[in-house]
Amino acid sequence: MAMSSSTVSLPSYPDSDYAEIFVVRHGKTAWNSEGRVQVVKDLDLRERHMGDLQGLRYRELSKTNPIAYEALVSKDDERELPGGGESFVQLFERCKSALLRIGRKHKGKRVVVVTHGACIETLYKWSNAKGSYAGKIDNTSVAVFELYGEDNWTLKMWGDVSHLTQKAHTTSV
């Protein structure tokens, strides 16, 4: 499954000390439909490396690889997944670093970042003082983060899918 994360610049943001970053979860992929565990090679915003669980179906994990499954569902965020998989902390550090780099580079602008669900989950935990997870991250959902200073963040919007229910607008030519 070759899908990479990307960024797109939008019109300027009203304050040159801030960067507004729209983080969008990619659309539904063939592997999403099949319930398979993914990772894609992209330096910073790729999906979590799942080690021995890579490519397996979620519904089969507890039976096919119970040790790796136990690590996956563990509440220990520092626990790495067997077979070279990332811990949640490792994923968090990678994704946080990427968003900081993008935000610093695009101060005074709005930027769109398209990435994966696990990456978005870590960013949510990072921006939320309680560190609790807000639930399922739908495909094409939008979160908006605002960066100010070197590493201060505000979560402005989370999990918005209102664009999925809006009627398409057409323009006559």
Give the catalytic positions in this structure.
Answer: 26, 47
Strand order in the sheet with 152-160: 6-12, 109-115, 18-25, 142-148, 152-160
- DSSP state at residue 108: T
Contact 125, 104 (CB under 8 A): no
58, 169 Cβ separation under 8 angstroms: no
Q: What Å distances lie between residue 115 and 46, 56, 63, CA to CA?
A: 7, 20, 29
Q: Which two tokens stand for residue 152?
A: 């201060």
Report how far residue 38's alpha carbon sits from residue 54's, in angstroms, rounded to the nearest whole number: 6
CA distances from 65 to 32, 33, 48 (A): 20, 21, 18
156: enclosing H helix or E strand: strand 152-160
